[in-house]
Amino acid sequence: MILEVAAAFVGIRFLLQRGFLQSVRRLGLRLPTPDDMTWGVGGGIGLFIFLIVVGGIWQALVSPEVFDAQTAASQEIANAINTLPLAFAVAMSAAVGEEIFFRGALQPVFGVVPVAIFFTLLHTQYTLTPATLIIFSVAVGLGLLRKKYSTTTAIIAHFLYNYIQLVIPLLAVSREIAP
């Protein structure tokens, strides 16, 4: 997260061409407004529902062995996150760092689709599977939230999208353990 945020500030010429407040505005950051909260929460939940629907279709179209092989890398990442505070930290750092860098710094220059392609290419753990199309679609959705509202809105949506995915397995495991 720190490197992504630093790269975003360097990329927009912080201190060379802009002061701090100008840089924050250029990156599309602001204190969350009611619209940011509404669309961020709605967007995050909507993107998660999209993931569930497309993931269900994907799982129905391939054998269990193929699906397990295609999702092994992301499953390993999810398995490494075993507490709610860690899930919160991972979801927050990914949302803040990636959104400030991709949607805040790059998108105003290159546009929604090219930045979504770049974002997808950097998520190499999904290789060339249907998950790649899911990530691309999520990136476009986050880009549209940034374009219409703010980077803050995209951060909220991205955080929820990630956090929900990380928390559901933790809650399911804790429920299985509880008497």
What average pLDDT does this structure show over 93-109? 97
The rounded distance, in Å, linking the Cα atoms of 143 and 28 is 12
The rounded distance, in Å, linking the Cα atoms of 163 and 141 is 17
Phi-psi region of 28 (alpha: psi -120 to 50; beta: other; left: phi over 0): left
The pair of structure tokens assigned to 8 is 């975003």
Listed range (66-75, 82-91, 104-113) with the worst mean pLDDT: 66-75
HSE toward the beta carbon, residue 54, CA cutoff 13 A = 16
Predicted confidence at residue 74, as pLDDT, reads: 79
Closest CA to 156 of 18, 50, 52, 31: 31
Residue 15 pLDDT class (50, 70, 90 cuts): confident
pLDDT 10s digits, 130-176 = 888 999 999 999 999 999 999 999 999 999 999 999 999 888 866 65
The rounded distance, in Å, linking the Cα atoms of 78 and 98 is 18
What average pLDDT does this structure show over 57-64? 89
Its pTM stands at: 0.91
Predicted confidence at residue 138, as pLDDT, reads: 98
Contacts of 130 (CB under 8 A, 6+ apart): 54, 58, 70
Mean pLDDT for the chain? 92
Domain ranges of the chain: 2-177
Predicted confidence at residue 175, as pLDDT, reads: 62
Predicted confidence at residue 99, as pLDDT, reads: 98
